[in-house]
Structure 1
Amino acid sequence: MESVVSKHNFEELLDKHHLKKTGPRLKVLSMMASKNTATSQPDLESVMSDIDRVTLYRILNAFEKKGIIHKVFDLNGTANYAMCHSNCEEHHHHDEHLHFNCTICKNVYCLDDLNLPPLKLPDGFKMEGFTLYANGTCPKCAGAIAK
C-alpha cells in the first residue's frame, strides 16, 4: 500500500495542493501516513489533543477536497480517512480499490494491490468513481483466533 506521501515529503505535498504548511496539517499528514489502516476523526482527536476538533475537521475536509485523503466508511457508518495515491486530484479521486472492514478489530484497510476487473456499465450510465467494501477478519485477528 504505497501512498503519495512515501514519494514526497509532507511540505512538498502541501505545496503541490496549494495549501499552507502549518504545524497541525503536517502533524495530521504524519499521523495518517504512519498508519496502515484508515482512521476516523475521533481516533485522530484522541492522539492529537493539541489540535481542536474544528481545526481537525477543516484539515480533513481540505485534504479530502484536494485529493490528499479519501473517505471510507466502517461497519458502523463512521467516516474514516486514508491517504490517496498520487494520481488523485482536486474533486476527483482515483481510489477505486477494495476497502476491507475487519469485524473483530473494526479497522478499515485499503487493499490497493488487488486487481479489480474493469466495470462495464449499461448504456447511458457515466461512472465518476466507485467504492467497494468487503468485511471479514484481517490477518492479525485471524492469527489471534487461531491461537
Structure 2
Amino acid sequence: MTQTRDIHHFEHLLDKHHLKKTAPRLRVLSMMSSRHTATSQPDLESLMHDIDRVTLYRILNAFEEKGIIHKVFDLDGTANYALCSSNCNEHDHHDEHLHFNCTQCKNVYCLNDLNLPAINLPVGFEPHGFTLYAQGLCPKCSKKAVKK
C-alpha cells in the first residue's frame, strides 16, 4: 500500500513540474526518497543498473532545473543530490538548510529541521540562496568512535 501511495505521489510531483511520467524518472524518485542521505550520480548508477549513465544524468539535471532535487557537494567536491522540500520550484529553490558532511563515512545529510539564524548581508548584496555546510561525525560514526 505504501509503495502505491509513493508512486502516486511521485506521479503527481512529475505532473506538477510538467515532466513526463517515465519508469526511469519514477525509479530515481523512489530510490532517492528511500535514502536518508544525499546521493551522488555514481552511487545511483551502482544501485540502478537498468538506467544508463546518460539517461540518469538527464533525469538528475531535469529534476534539479525543476526544483525537485538540489545539489550539495561532499568533502571531496563530488555532487550529491537530495530531494527538495515541497515548496521548491524551478524559479525558487528553498534548500537553505544545514548540509552535514560526515568525515568518517563520507555521507552528506540534509538537516532540514534546524532553525538557522537570519543572515544579514551588507547593503548592496542581493542573495539568491545560500549553502551552509558543517563537517564532523554523524550519529552512527560517533557511536562507533565511542565504542573503540
TM-score, scaled relative to structure 2? 0.93
The Cα shift of 1:88 comes to 0.7
The alignment covers a number of residue pairs equal to 142
CA-CA distance at 1:104 after TM superposition: 0.3
In structure 1, the residue matched to 2:70 is 70
Q: Say which SS state the counterpart of residue 15 (structure 1) adopts.
A: helix
Q: Does 1:57 align with 2:57?
A: yes
Residues of 1 paired with 2:82 and 2:34: CA distance? Answer: 11
Instruction: Give the structure with the higher percent helix.
Output: 2
Instruction: Report the more deviating stretch, 47-56 or 83-92.
Output: 83-92
Query: Per-residue deviation at 1:145?
Result: 1.3
2:31 is aligned with what amino acid? M
Work out the CA distance in 2 between the residues paired with 1:81 and 1:46: 15
Following TM superposition, the consecutive aligned residue runs of length 4 or more in structure 1 with deviations greater than 2 angstroms are none
Residue aligning to 1:103:
103
State the shift of 1:146 in Å: 1.1
Alpha-carbon distance in 1 for matches of 2:132, 2:57? 25
1:92 CA displacement:
2.3
What is the RMSD of the two structures over their aligned residues, measured on CA atoms? Answer: 1.3
1:17-96 correspondence to structure 2 within 5 Å: 17-96=17-96
User: Any stretches of 5+ residues in structure 1 without a counterpart?
Assistant: none
Greater relative contact order structure (CA < 8 Å, 6+ sep) = 1
- In structure 2, list runs of 5 or more residues that go unmatched: none
**One-letter amino acid matched to 1:127:** P
With normalisation by structure 1, the TM-score equals: 0.94
